[in-house]
Amino acid sequence: MDTLEGALETVPMVGTAPWTASLNRQLSITGVPLSEALKAMVIDAFWPLPDQNCDNVLKQILYFEPYFNHFQKEYRNPSKPSIAIQSYEDMVALLRIIKSNSTQSLNHLLTTIRTTALATHITTATDERLLSSIEFIVRCWLMINVNVVNDMPEKPPQQYPYPKPRVKELPWLRTESLAQTIRKNLDPYGYGSGGAEDGQQASWPVSPMGKLRQGKVPETDEFSPYLNVVDMERIAGFKINWTNTLAEHLTLRRKYLYLFSQVTALRRLEQSGTSRGILPDGLIEETLETMNLLIPIESAACNKWLKRQTQKHGLDDPLHFRDYRNGSPDRDVERFRYWRERLLKLSDVFMRTKPQSPIGWWYDDRDKGYWWNYWLVFGALACTVLFGLLSVILGFLQLDVAKKQLNSEQKQAGL
């Protein structure tokens, strides 16, 4: 079995002293940032790379600032029970056990934790605090919200009233493994790998990314070039909200579109390979490709928009470093497996939405014939109003001249 000493064997060394920072001490004080050393330790613990140590990670810390803002908020999440983790060592030990038991049921995972030689405040913690600790680690490691449930409800829970955003949480049954829970919810085809039987259809809940309905044929083979954040905002009036929850990516609620922002952490997760066998194959790459699709790097307007968003919301700088393997964003509908349904829904809503203002109509040249007809009619109407206004003004001027002339004649006659 794993022990605390065994877990600490993976803690990197700086010089001759182990890094033994306390999460509890630094995170319990609101507004106190984590030390650079502790940040490097957390990154290396969650997503280790074989050819990189903490000294190398320290050089990249700046890119992870948005992630650690999220990390600290998750640690102090008021909507969750308090967690049992008090130190970096606690987190490393629990993380290792979770990783090594990702294909075992949650009940088995809890038993393993309680029978492992961990700190007393971990092994004797209540189920509520221990489960909250597990959820916290999964959220920060895989950037997916999971919520432990005892029984699966017969119907999906009601959404929160608009416009309050509903954070997507994948229900995790105690009889299921972490890998099974994630794959059955995120794989649109409903086949569970890493715990589920091959070919077994996933029961409710339907994938948050949208289960592809049988027999559904997309109306188009490619997504329109107009399907980008700038055109969606100025033509259709969409509002972009940023989320730290991967399962909430591309969620459209009325005109609020949610995009995943933690690109640096997502790339590091892919490079480390620690999610292999847990996240569906190709999910991370496809998620990054959706960002390339909606924020094309060759668009100057989209680049300016992203720069403003980054400054306003303190977003991940690497969002600017979007790259295309084939030189341009892949707009082929078939290219997207996991996000296809959400992208199709987004495209359908956007292409059917008409502008609500003259500025929107000016930019909306998706239908060239309709655009020209609109502005010809608008121009004719504007000219009619303008000429009518000029006629009225000229009429008033003529009346004023005639009145002045009449007054002048009356004065001369009086003399």
> Global pTM?
0.74
Q: Enumerate the domain spans of the chain.
A: 4-142, 229-357, 364-394
Q: Each residue of 92-106: b (16+ CB within 10 Å) or e? A: bbbbbbbbebbebbb
Please tell me the distance from the alpha carbon of residue 243 to that of residue 263, in angstroms, as a whole number.
Answer: 11
The reported pLDDT for the residue numbered 242 is 94
Q: How many Cβ atoms from other residues are within 10 Å of residue 368's Cβ?
A: 8
Residue type, 278: I
The H-assigned helical ranges of 295-367 are: 300-313, 340-352, 358-363
13 sits in which H/E element? strand 13-14
Asked whether 173 and 152 are in contact (CB, 8 A), the reply is yes
Tokens coding 76: 């102090």
| pLDDT for position 32 | 63
Q: What is the full per-residue pLDDT of the chain (415 aa) written as tens digits? A: 333 333 333 333 333 333 445 666 566 544 567 888 888 888 989 999 887 666 666 778 888 999 999 998 888 887 777 888 888 888 999 999 999 999 999 999 999 999 987 888 888 889 999 999 999 999 999 999 999 887 655 444 444 333 333 457 889 999 999 999 998 888 756 544 333 333 333 333 334 444 443 334 456 688 988 899 998 888 888 999 999 999 899 999 888 999 999 999 999 999 999 999 899 989 999 999 999 999 988 889 999 999 999 989 888 877 776 665 545 667 888 889 889 989 999 999 988 888 776 666 555 666 555 555 655 666 677 778 777 787 778 777 777 777 777 777 667 766 5
Please list the residues that pair with 148 across neighbouring strands.
172
pLDDT in tens, 140-186: 999 999 998 876 554 444 443 333 334 578 899 999 999 999 988 88
Neighbours of 389 (CB within 10 A): 10
Give the amino acid at 234. R
Output the pLDDT for position 11. 37
176 within 8 A of 104, measured Cβ to Cβ: no
Nearest residue to 75 via CA among 25, 113, 40, 37: 25
Give the pLDDT confidence score for residue 249 in this predicted structure: 93
pLDDT at site 251: 92
pLDDT of residue 370: 57
